[in-house]
A and B are shown apart, each in its own frame.
Chain A
Amino acid sequence: MLHRRHRDGYQISLQGPPGGAQTLRLSGRLNLQAMGHLLAQFKRVLEPTPPASLTVELSGVQYLDSGGALALNLLSEQAAQRQVPLKLEGLGPQGQQMLALVRPDRLAPPMPPPTPRPGNFIENLGVGALRLLDDLVEVVAFVGSLARALALVARRPSVLRWRDVELYMERVGVDGLPIVALISFLLGLIMAFMSAIQLKHFGANIYVADLVAVAMVRELGPIMTAVLVAGRSGSAFAAEIGTMVVNQEVDALKVMGFDITVFLAMPKIVAALLMVPLLILFSDLLAIVGGMIIGVTYLDLTVYSYVQHTLGALSVGAITSGALKGVVFAFLIGGIGCQRGLAVAGGAEGVGRATTSAVVAGMFLIVVADSIFAIVQYYL
């Protein structure tokens, strides 16, 4: 004979001979928390020897929720499968309603969702390739609309929302200064330190100044600044525009007749075009200061000789080409950030994906563009 008290507050007892007419008495609270335990007890009533008939006495039940009701319905189902006649007794009208609410036999078969879920490797590969193609088409279309918008702004600068340009110049440029300064300064410091260890052997300490200046102005300044701007601002552009897409703000602008590229993308891109070259110059300067600190303190160079050597190593051409790279990088970062934002589909998750994609694609494009610059410079 079964007689149990569950910690969640229900009691169960079974009366009657095994294989004969049995009565299962339940009282207390039959709820979700007790459901798992309850189902296990029911299994023991029906197995291994099912009763000839089963009466479930429920007049002592104080509370029945969907979990308890489902357990009772499952007991009825299992009893019917084993041809055990089952009677539920002592359940009030509210309990009857509860039982009627959770009838597993009335469930509809599952429907296949409209968009296919990820399949096997080959399918995923195909879907990925098609998506990449769509993505490329979208990027090309966006570059086209950007070029058109740029031409429009060049012809009629008043169509651009200059107040937004100012705002984004502040966000991209001014707000980015501290982190660009810190990282560039440390980069200069590290470069000077690492090269000093080698150059000291040859008594070529003074060339630390040349190395830091040339490496920074030609390569590392533009790249480091661009990577930082991609992380700070490219992602912010994508998130901002993406959220506007999700909230239908972009749709609202479209139906009001605004050109989305001019209205949303251009102020951000123009601001980036103006600020990134300046950030690069700032970054170059801070790195040179970092290098100089090592030169003066660790390599016994004077400030005068360090500055002289730095100036000697640099040319106006090198500085301009660094800043010019910045213009190209800014276009890529701003463009991809805005494009990813506009391509957002779905809700919050889509915005997250767009933000990540803006940063990753931005950095990839920066490196590709920089390689092209390197090759062009080699042949020039």
Chain B
Amino acid sequence: MTQADASPSPAPAPIQVEDVTLGYGQNIIVEHLSFSVTPGEIVVIAGGSGCGKSTVLMAVIGLLPPRQGRILVHGVDLARAGEKELARVRRSFGVLFQSGALLGSMTLAENVALPLADAAHLDRRTLDLLVRLKLALVDLDGFQDYLPAEMSGGMNKRAALARALALDPSILFFDEPSAGLDPVTSAELDRLILRLNQAQGTTMLIVTHELDSIYAIAHRVVLLDKAAKGIIAVGDPHRLRDDSRDPRVQEFFHRRPRD
């Protein structure tokens, strides 16, 4: 069983970031950034506040065009892709935004059904069943008729994940998945991420600075630094913590503030 492959060449990297510079207005956030994510890999982008983690994620999902360089998702440069191609690639990935970004006027079921109804031509009952199963994946079965305002932040986040999972994306992007969650819910989310990765071989790019999550889920960490405006280390989180001699890497992994 293999994962869906949107690009023509054999087992290409689903995400390739090549010499990318990003910024807002006059402000350059990261420069000459390059990394790639292999199929089925969980890569965490980490670093202190303001280092550009979320900016990189926005660029990779095609919401912020790079100043320089290119970003390929399934081999497609989102900044230069045509409408049709963009829509096709976007359907192959799911995004969990920091705030969840559920539509407040719709119930959970309607939120999750939103991408599904468009992609799969199913009768009402099967669609409902599928939606409930997606909610069950994030332990929210039974809550389908709730509005986002009627649930806690953690539940909203899980529901948003169910929506991101709706189309069985081959890539999942997470922006600070544990932000605003209690440690137990956060650990549950980590477990869910691993389970999805194993069951579906989903490639994941996760922005977080939660060390516990990083150790639990990351195959590789891309560590960014504000002053360096780019990557200061890439690798297995445990190895980086134990072996890296870079004081900035040590500061991050040992929660040691700079003097």
Contact = CB atoms under 8 A, between A and B. Distances in A.
A65 B168 contact: yes
B141 interface: yes
B184 interface: no
Q: How big is the B interface, by class?
A: 35 or more
Contact of B126 (A31, A35, A108, A110): A35
Nearest to A91: B1
B250 interface: no
Interface string A21-62: 000000001011101100100000000000000000000011
A161 B142 CA distance: 50
Contacts of B253: none
B105 A349 contact: yes
Contacts of B2: 62-63
A115 B150 contact: yes
B1 A110 contact: no
Nearest to A39: B126
Interface in B119-142: 119-123, 126, 129-130, 132-134, 136-137, 141-142
B145 A32 contact: no
Instruction: Report whether over half of chain B's contact residues are helix, strand or loop; otherwise say mixed.
Output: loop
A359 interface: no
Given A36-B120, A113-B145, A101 B168 contact: no
B141 A107 contact: yes
A300 B149 CA distance: 66
A35 B141 contact: no
Interface stretch (B62-70, B76-84, B196-204): B196-204
B10 to A, nearest CB: 14
A27 to B, nearest CB: 12
9 contacts: A31-B4, A32-B167, A36-B122, A65-B4, A66-B168, A94-B1, A110-B142, A113-B146, A114-B150
A63 B150 contact: no
A56 B146 CA distance: 38
B143 interface: yes
Contacts of B50: none
Given A62-B1, A63-B1, A113-B150, A107 B199 contact: no
Contact of B132 (A107, A113, A348): A107
A97 B120 contact: no
B98 interface: no
Interface in B55-114: 104-105, 107
A109 interface: yes
Contacts of A94: 1, 198-201
B251 to A, nearest CB: 32
A31 B168 contact: yes
Interface residues of A, number: 40
A95 B1 contact: yes
B49 interface: no
Contact of B133 (A63, A92, A104): A104
Contacts of A255: none
Given A97-B198, A101-B199, A32 B116 contact: yes
Given A32-B120, A63-B3, A70 B142 contact: no
B21 to A, nearest CB: 32
B133 A107 contact: yes
Contact of A108 (B1, B129, B141): B141
B170 to A, nearest CB: 9
A64 B142 contact: no
Interface string B154-181: 0000000000000110000000000000
Contacts of A97: 198-199
Nearest to B116: A32
A111 B150 contact: no
A63 B130 contact: no
Nearest to B115: A32
Contacts of A216: none
B4 A63 contact: yes
Given A107-B132, A346-B149, 18 more contacts: A32-B167, A36-B121, A63-B1, A63-B3, A66-B134, A94-B198, A95-B1, A97-B199, A98-B199, A102-B133, A107-B141, A108-B141, A110-B144, A111-B143, A113-B147, A114-B146, A346-B104, A347-B149
A29 B4 CA distance: 9
Contacts of A36: 120-123, 126
Contacts of A346: 104, 149
B137 A101 contact: yes
A40 B32 CA distance: 52
A70 B123 contact: no
A115 B134 CA distance: 24
A104 B133 CA distance: 7
Contacts of A66: 130, 133-134, 168
A23 B90 CA distance: 38
A201 interface: no
A49 B89 CA distance: 43
A67 interface: yes
B136 A110 contact: no
A348 B148 CA distance: 12
